[in-house]
Every structure is written in C-alpha cells, then in structure tokens.
C-alpha cells in the first residue's frame, strides 16, 4: 500500500473493512473517519445518559511492564479493529465520546504498545489525554472489548496483507535466482490432470514461473551437479509457494469475515471466542508452508554462494550472510517456538508468526541480492573460471536489457571504454526473461536510488549486506515501489493468458497419438469379439429426455448430468448405454436383438484414478425370449473372451443373483421397501469394511443390529461357483424355504454347468456380497475385477434386466448385457506398455518418400501410385542435402522403408529404396518401385518384434 492521505471509513451501510485498510491504519498510511450516519446513531443512543469521562466504574488493572507487548503497528491494528467492533455494536456505547477518542488516537499516529490481551488494555491508560488518566470505560464497553478479539483479528489482518503481497515476492525472487543459477525449467512442467487431483495453486505457480522466465537465454544451461540440495531448492518451488498461496487465500477469506462480524454482547464469551480460535487455526498452515519456503530460499542462497569459485569472495560473502541473516537452525527453532505458542497463547502465537514472516522476508532479500550479484558477474563476462573481482564499478547494477551498458552507483551510465584500451572480444548478449527483466530493473532501481555510498573493489560483502537490507525494506507492503513491482509482474503474467495452455474440465482427458493407437487396437479386438457372437452395431443420442433416465439407477440418479431447458424439453446426458438401448427396443417394437454399442457416457461423479466424468463404455446386450440362461451364459462368455484377448492380466468375475440377494434380505428380516437402499450399502463392501457398512445399515438405513449381523453372516460367503452353490442348496439352508431364492438357485445351477462345459468357470467367483446398485437388475449380476498391480477396481459389469424395456412400452422384452469399463482397461494397457518399455507405434505408415527440391508434382505422382496400390505412405519435400531428420523420424515412427529421390535419380529414372531395419539401400527403376515395395512388405511385419514395437 502506497503512502498518502487516504481515509478509511468505518461504519455506515455497505462499508466493509479489509486487511489492506487495517495495514494502512497501522502504518500511518491512512486516516480514520467514522461514517456520519453511524456517528449520529451512536450520539442518539439510549445509553448516552451514562457518563463518558471520569467513570467511577471498576477498571482493569494496568498491565505489568514485564507483559509481552505488541509492536506499535500491531497495537494500532488491534485498536482499529476494536473501533470497528464498537461502532458495529453501538447499543452498548454511552455515546460517541469513546469512538471519537479512539479516532483521535489513531489519527495522531502516536506510538502505542498494547499488551497481547484485550482484558489487559481495557483500562484508561491508552485512552487518557496528555496528563489526564481518568478516561474510563463502562462495563458494557468493556464487554465489547473482551468479546471483540480485536488483538487477534488486528494482527491477523497484518499477517494477511503482508503474506498476500509476499506470495508474489517469493515467486519473482525465486525466478531471479533460478535464472542466475541457469537452472532447468523442466521442474515447472507440471501436468494438469482431468481427475480433479491437480493442485491448482501449484500449477499456477509453475505457470507463472515459466512466464517470468519466458525468453531467457540463461535458463536450461549446463546441468549443475545433481544433489539433494539442488532438488530441494528448485523442485520444491511449486509445492512450497503453491501451498503458501492456498493458505493465504484461506486466511484472507477468514480474516475478512472476522473483521466485519458484529458483536452480540448477549452471547456468552465462550460462544464467541471459538471464532478467534478458527482464525488462528487458519494461520497455522501458513507457518508450516512459510517455513518450507524459507528453507528452500536458504538452499538457493547457499547454491549461489557455492557457485562463486573465487574462494576469498565465497568465504567473505558466506560470513557476511551468516552474521546478518537467519540460519536454517534458527529458522527451525523459530518454527518450533511458534508451535509451542500456538498451544499456549493465541496472541503471543501471532507475534511469533509476524517475526517468522520478517525472518523469511530477510532470507528472500538476501536471495534477491545474491541473484542480482551473480547476474551482474555474468553480464560483465566475469565467469567463475576467471573471477578476480566481481565489482569493478563501486555499487554498480547492470541493466538487464541485453546491452553491455553498466550503471554506476549514482545512476549514471558509463558509456564506452577508456581511450586507448584494447578492444576485447564481445561477450554473447545476456537476455533475461520477460518477467525477470522487469524484476531486475525495478529492484536495481530501488538500490541505486537509496544507496548513495561508494564501495571499494573488495567491499562486495559489505555491499551485499546493504543491498539485502534495502531490499528487505522494499518488500514491506507500505513501500510504494513494491506496489509498482507487483503490478508490473501481474501485467507480465496475465499477458500470457491467451497463450497459456487451457485447462480441461475435471474428470475428462485428452488422448495423444500413442494412447489412440492403443485404443484403436483395443476397439478392434472388442468389435471382433462382439461380431463373432452375432452382434450388430447400434448408436443412440448422447442425451436423452430426463424422464427417460430418471428412476432407473437408484441412488446413483444424483450423478446424472442435467442440461439446460432448450425449447421446453428437459434433457440429460446419458448415464450408461443400457437404458437408451431399452428405450430404443421399446420405441421400435423390437422383440429380439443382439447388439453392441461403443460410445461415451457421462456421470457427475468425483473423479479419481481410473474414474472419470466422461468415458467410453463398450456394451453387448441380448434382448428377447430364449431358453433359460442361454443369453446369460453367452454374455458372460463374451466378457471372458474380451478380457482374455485384450491380454491385460489376471482378473476374476464376481457373480450373484438379484433374486438370491432379495431372498437373503427377506431371510434377515429386512422390510421389502428397504431392499434397494440396503443393496446400495452392501455394494460398498469392495471398498469398505463390513464394520463400516454395518454402521451405515444401522444408523443410516434403520436396520436393527440383529438384521445387520445376519446380513454379515451371508455376505461373507464367496468361492468357487459349484462349491458355494452346493452349500446354499444344503438341506438345512434357509434359501430353500424362500421362493425367490429357489428360482435363483435353479437358474444358477444351469448357468454354472454351462460355464463349466465352456471351460471358463474358473474365472468366476460366486460372491454373495455383490449387489450392483442399479435398480433395473432382476436376475444374474456380475462384475469383473482386475487383480494386477494397477489398482483400477471393476473393469466390466452387467446383469439381467427383464423389466427395463417394459418401462417404456406395453410389452416386456427380457434382456441381459455386459458393459466393459474400457477407460480402466486402457489405463491397464498403457501401464503394461510402460512396464515392458515397449515403443507404441502411433501410425501404420509403411514407407516415407523423400524428394529433394520443391517439385510437388513429382511428389504427388509418386505418392499417388503408392496410395493407389494400397501402400500406406507419407511424403516430404526437403531443400537440405542431408536427410538425418527424416531418418530420425522413420526410426522413431518405426517406418520400415524410405524412398529417396534427388535430381540425379530423376535424371536416371531410378529411386533409392532404403531398408531401415537392415540399414541398406538399393536403386530400383522408377516404374518398378510399387511392385518391389509390395513384395518386400509381404515378407516382413510392419515392425520387427526385435524392436519391441506395439503396432
């Protein structure tokens, strides 16, 4: 905040205090004024008859001199907050005298040193005039004093405003030293995931750092020796600074609320104090992130000092730094002290937080000074290999414009060289980043303007101490030139807004060429299996009428994506492919259909690994009347063929029957109207323990403890289908006495015998805990679980739904189907390729045609002959006589052949045909090239297995 005659209005309608306003009042940058309407209201208060001065009511004892006191700025901030609380609680005042007196004190800008507790400064000491110590406060006013938490809110406001500005300072100074040390910006290449698990502020810091360093010729230079110190200093910038920004945002929001909340004196103190505890709890994470940022800055400072190869300079600068700046041990001890204060005393905790901010500020000031110092030596061409003296012109600061001009300590430009001096070879131009250029220029200007003394050649250590001191003062928000820096940095960062990589919505993904190659291969296998079983393709709209989808998914209906009303129709994005299929069958009067459908579906779910909001489903369904369990068997067989041919690894298919599940609940005494909601709880057993599900069944779903325990005894049954079936069919089994269960057991016996004959029953596990939460299932239900290292959970699921089609028409058409969770399968396949270190071939190109020159006509003629012969070909025109780039391209793309045509080949009517795998080439007559290529391609695979390539 720049200094000036600003006025902060307190009270009045629509007036809100901010941390910036409190900071301005605390540092004497602003005057205080009570809104006239608020002042009139106080003056006309019903309590005005009470005396305002020389009050005989009891007052609190004056604080002992040994009590910890706030700084003058912290005291004024606390008093400003108290004033606002008094004005907003005017019913407790005796009139305007008290608030007017506080306004006078604040506007006189007299030094104050209040104790760290409202209960200790509600006496008349700070309210008294010169020599008059008789200005007292009433009991009501004292209660406002004690309930206001003005000391905590006031100091928190100072921390809030300072931290808000300092969060940007940390970025720009880190960028400066990052550039001076010629570090690698790849640490800022953070991926924005679509699963909602990216750290927004970390991504923002990394993006801002890239923009500040954009255009720099210094970064990404020769690699520094790898070290733990280097890793911590640079790679931690996004997490440390991003975490700090996150905490500051939270504090800013909370502080604004507490600044403007009103006091209700009718409430007991204990009911108000928790708000202040919440405020200090909000500050605690800032302390941890500030400590981390300070440690990282110290590490960068040490890296800069170590980069100075002149031993004498390094030792003297290191000694000066150690004497004048906080060490890592001191920083750690200060952090521990703050944690102790947090437990003991909130007010003293805030005082210690302010001190920590000052310590970290000083560390970053030293980082800035050393960064400027190192950049200056680079600009002067004084490399670390020939470094007699880093400072020839006393106190000089370089201009970061790329010119070789040097500015002296008085701000005058040193033009040219002394007459007669031999002309030296010009050093390469030093170009700083777009943002660091601005930072360098502003901070250098501050130092030039404020430091007037001359420095001897060997006084570089003393010079750096002075630089760090001035820069530390410059980092205070009260410094008018800091606002200039922050605004300039904001302009630089935001100038890149239109060119910044846009963010994709949570729960969505982009797919590159390698990923699409895997997808196309997988889709080809899946469609092949579907067609093998007689499936025909079907497609439906991506959105349906909302009434079509609602009531089909049970509790999952809340995950349906609704669309805006367009022309009187309320629509929603499809949740799956099964309900649209049932609607299609009913609309078209179909009685028998075996179909497959591969398309995207949408769910307003919480994104996680392998769980997205937009994803593909691959469905295979059989609708119509068939012999008992025939379609059920075939759908499960399709599922095993899909997972086997995709070759993703071990999996198991959990299977149950909805009628058996209902029978189990009936046996346990669960009311029929609670069957579906209880099933949704049971369905969570793959992610939660039974103890958690038991608690939900009893406390949320209203079952008795006996019912829940009885359910637990059944859902633990799982194993080989025929063994569990035999156990359930035992003569004492309660399932034999339930009609629905008897039907289910008969159907399962037929199904298991068929699966046994088809030799795929070993893939199936009979699991009574499988519930499948969707409401439309009526018979067999199943779910495939991947058992490999990649944790993705369910990869396919389905079941029988005999009543769904009838919901859309008068005729019931029984159906059964399976849906492959292809996105999770893709995740597994991609990980398998990475684990096997296989190259994923994105294209199927068989030959690259390279023509020297710019004759597009010849290129078009030759390429068209290849295309007409069904040969997959690409062509390129090049003016270069070298084809190294083209060879790199064909090797990386696993293209087996090249055809090379130059002027000489054109004249002789030949082409050169190069075998990339064998690294041999032969000349072939132009008219025979198509036949030669076809013959060669018939004898080799697109890419040899020796190259570990996935085609």
Q: What confidence score (pLDDT) does residue 133 get?
A: 42
d(CA 693, CA 700): 10
List of residues 6+ apart from 255 with CB closer than 8 A: 19, 153, 156, 157, 160, 279
Please state, in angstroms and rounded to a whole number, the distance separating the CA atoms of residues 78 and 209.
36
Q: What three-state secondary structure class fits 242? A: helix
Burial 820-855 (b: 16+ CB within 10 A, else e): bbbbbbbbbbbbbbeeeeebbbbeebbbbbbbbeee
Neighbours of 641 (CB within 10 A): 18
Structure tokens at 795: 């990869």
If phi > 0 it is left, if psi is from -120 to 50 it is alpha, else beta; for residue 364 that is: alpha
- For the chain, how far is it from start to end, CA to CA, in angstroms? 62
b (16+ CB within 10 A) / e for 83-95: bbbbbbbbebbbb
Q: How far is residue 102 from each of residues 79, 125, 702, measured CA to CA in Å?
A: 8, 12, 60
Distance CA 557, CA 379 (A): 65
471 contact partners, CB below 8 Å, separation of at least 6: 365, 368, 369, 443, 446, 447
For the record, the structure tokens of 849 come out as 């045609």
- pTM across the whole model: 0.55
Cα 794-795-801 angle, rounded to 5 deg: 85
DSSP codes joined into one string, 761-809:
GGGEEEETT-----TT--SEEEEEEE-SSS---EEEEEEE-SSTGGGGS
Mean pLDDT by 10 residues, the chain (951 residues): 70 82 91 82 56 36 46 88 80 66 82 59 50 55 75 90 93 91 82 56 87 85 52 80 91 88 60 64 90 91 87 90 91 88 82 91 94 82 42 41 34 42 51 89 91 82 93 92 92 69 76 82 92 93 91 80 82 91 92 93 79 88 94 95 90 92 89 83 80 86 87 88 91 86 93 94 92 80 86 85 86 92 82 70 83 85 89 86 83 85 87 86 88 79 42 39
Half-sphere CA count of 62, side-chain side, radius 13 A: 10
Task: Kindly report the backbone phi and psi dihedral angles of residue 149, in degrees, each rounded to the nearest multiple of 5, phi listed first.
Answer: 55, 30
What are the residues facing 654 on neighbouring strands? 765, 783
By C-alpha distance, which of 212, 200, 148 is closest to 503? 200
Domains and CATH numbers, the chain: 7-41+67-127+135-148 (no CATH), 156-382 (1.20.200.10), 513-649+806-838 (3.30.930.10), 652-787 (3.30.930.10), 847-946 (3.40.50.800)
pLDDT the model gives residue 694: 87
Which pair of structure tokens corresponds to residue 489?
A: 């940095």
| CA–CA dist 861, 883 (Å, integer) | 21
Distance in angstroms (rounded) separating the CA atoms of residues 363 and 240:
15
Report how far residue 102's alpha carbon sits from residue 104's, in angstroms, rounded to the nearest whole number.
5
Closest CA to 432 of 223, 170, 178, 169: 178
User: DSSP per residue over 913-941, as a string?
Assistant: EEETTTTEEEEEEGGGHHHHHHHHHHHS-
In which order are the strands placed within the sheet that holds 920-925?
873-878, 847-852, 897-901, 910-915, 920-925
């Amino acid at each position: 905040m720049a200094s000036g005659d600003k006025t902060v209005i307190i009270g009045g309608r629509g007036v809100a205090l901010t941390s910036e306003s409190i900071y301005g009042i605390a540092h004497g940058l602003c005057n205080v004024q009570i809104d006239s309407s608020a002042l009139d209201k106080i003056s006309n208060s019903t309590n005005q008859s009470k005396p305002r001065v020389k009050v005989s009511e009891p007052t609190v004892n004056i604080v002992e001199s040994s009590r910890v006191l706030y700084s003058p700025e912290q005291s004024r901030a606390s008093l400003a907050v108290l004033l606002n609380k008094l004005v907003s609680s005017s019913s407790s005042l005796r009139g305007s005298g008290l608030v007017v007196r506080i306004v006078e004190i604040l506007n006189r800008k007299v030094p104050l040193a209040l104790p760290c507790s409202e209960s200790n400064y509600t006496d008349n000491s700070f309210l008294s005039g010169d020599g008059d110590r008789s200005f007292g406060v009433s009991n009501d006013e004292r209660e406002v004093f004690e309930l206001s938490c003005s000391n905590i809110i006031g100091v928190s406001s100072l921390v809030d405003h300072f931290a808000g500005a300092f969060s940007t300072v940390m970025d720009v100074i880190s960028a400066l030293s990052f550039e001076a040390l010629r570090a690698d910006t790849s640490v800022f290449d953070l991926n924005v995931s679509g699963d909602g698990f990216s750290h927004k502020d970390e991504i923002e810091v990394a993006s801002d750092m890239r923009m500040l360093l954009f255009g720099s010729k210094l970064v990404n230079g020769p690699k520094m020796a790898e070290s733990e110190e280097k890793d911590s200093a640079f790679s931690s910038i996004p997490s440390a600074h991003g975490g700090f920004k996150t905490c500051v945002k939270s504090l800013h929001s909370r502080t604004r609320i507490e600044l403007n909340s009103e006091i209700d004196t009718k409430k007991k103190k204990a009911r108000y104090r928790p708000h202040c505890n919440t405020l200090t709890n909000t500050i605690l994470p800032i302390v941890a992130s500030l400590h981390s940022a300070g440690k990282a800055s110290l590490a960068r400072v040490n890296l800069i000092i170590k980069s100075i190869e002149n031993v004498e300079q390094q030792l003297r600068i290191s000694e000066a730094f150690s004497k004048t700046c906080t060490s890592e041990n001191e920083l750690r001890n200060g952090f521990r002290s703050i944690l102790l204060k947090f437990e003991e005393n909130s007010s003293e905790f805030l005082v210690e937080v302010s001190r920590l901010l000052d310590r970290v500020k000083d560390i970053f000031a030293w980082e800035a000074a050393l960064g400027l110092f190192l950049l200056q030596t680079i600009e002067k061409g004084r490399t670390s290999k020939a470094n007699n003296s880093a400072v020839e012109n006393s106190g000089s600061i370089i201009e970061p414009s790329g010119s070789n001009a040097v500015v002296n300590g008085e701000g005058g430009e040193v033009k040219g060289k002394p007459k007669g001096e031999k002309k030296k070879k010009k050093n390469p131009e030093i170009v700083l980043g777009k943002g660091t250029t601005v930072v360098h220029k502003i901070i250098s200007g501050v130092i030039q303007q404020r430091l007037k003394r001359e420095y001897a050649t060997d006084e570089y250590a003393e010079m750096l101490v002075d630089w760090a001191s001035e820069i530390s003062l410059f980092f205070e928000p009260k410094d008018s030139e800091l606002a200039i820096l922050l605004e300039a940095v904001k302009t630089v960062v935001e100038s890149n807004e239109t060119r910044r990589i846009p963010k994709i919505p949570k729960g969505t993904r982009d797919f590159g060429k390698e990923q699409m190659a895997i997808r196309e291969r997988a889709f080809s296998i899946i469609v092949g299996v579907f067609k093998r079983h007689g499936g025909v393709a079907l497609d439906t709209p991506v959105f349906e009428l909302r009434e079509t989808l609602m009531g089909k998914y049970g509790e999952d209906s809340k995950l349906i994506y609704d669309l805006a009303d367009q022309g009187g129709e309320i629509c929603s994005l499809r949740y799956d492919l099964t309900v649209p299929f049932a609607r299609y069958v009913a609309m078209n009067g179909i009685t028998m259909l075996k179909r497959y459908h591969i398309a995207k579906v949408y769910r307003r779910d919480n994104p996680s690994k392998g769980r997205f909001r937009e994803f593909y489903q691959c469905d295979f369904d059989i609708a119509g009347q068939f012999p008992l369990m025939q379609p059920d068997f075939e759908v499960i067989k399709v599922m095993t063929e899909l997972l086997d041919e995709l070759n993703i690894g071990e999996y198991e298919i959990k299977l149950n029957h909805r009628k058996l599940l209902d029978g189990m609940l009936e046996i346990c005494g669960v009311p029929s109207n609670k069957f579906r909601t209880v099933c949704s709880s049971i369905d969570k057993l793959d992610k939660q323990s039974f103890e958690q599900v038991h608690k939900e069944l009893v406390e949320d779903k209203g079952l008795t403890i006996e019912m829940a325990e009885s359910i637990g005894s059944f859902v633990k049954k799982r194993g080989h289908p025929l063994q569990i079936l035999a156990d359930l069919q035992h003569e004492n089994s309660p399932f034999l006495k339930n009609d629905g269960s008897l039907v289910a057991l008969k159907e399962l016996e037929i199904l298991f015998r068929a699966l046994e004959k088809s030799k795929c029953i070993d893939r199936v596990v009979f699991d009574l805990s499988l519930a499948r939460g969707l409401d439309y299932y009526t018979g067999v239900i199943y779910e495939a679980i991947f058992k490999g290292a990649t944790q993705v959970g369910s990869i396919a699921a389905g079941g029988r739904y005999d009543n769904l089609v009838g919901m859309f028409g008068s005729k019931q058409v029984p159906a059964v189907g399976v849906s492959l969770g292809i996105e999770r399968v893709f995740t597994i396949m991609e990980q398998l390729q990475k684990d096997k270190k296989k190259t994923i071939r994105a294209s199927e190109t068989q030959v690259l045609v390279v023509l020297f020159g710019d004759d597009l006509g010849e290129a078009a003629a030759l390429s068209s002959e290849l295309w007409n012969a069904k040969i997959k070909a690409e062509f390129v025109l090049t003016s270069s006589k070298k084809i190294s780039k083209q060879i790199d391209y064909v090797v990386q793309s696993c293209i087996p052949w090249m055809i090379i045509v130059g002027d000489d080949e054109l004249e002789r009517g030949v082409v050169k045909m190069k075998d990339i795998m064998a690294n041999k080439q032969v000349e072939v007559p132009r008219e025979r090239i198509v036949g030669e290529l076809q013959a060669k391609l018939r004898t080799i695979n697109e890419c040899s297995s020796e190259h570990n390539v996935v085609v």
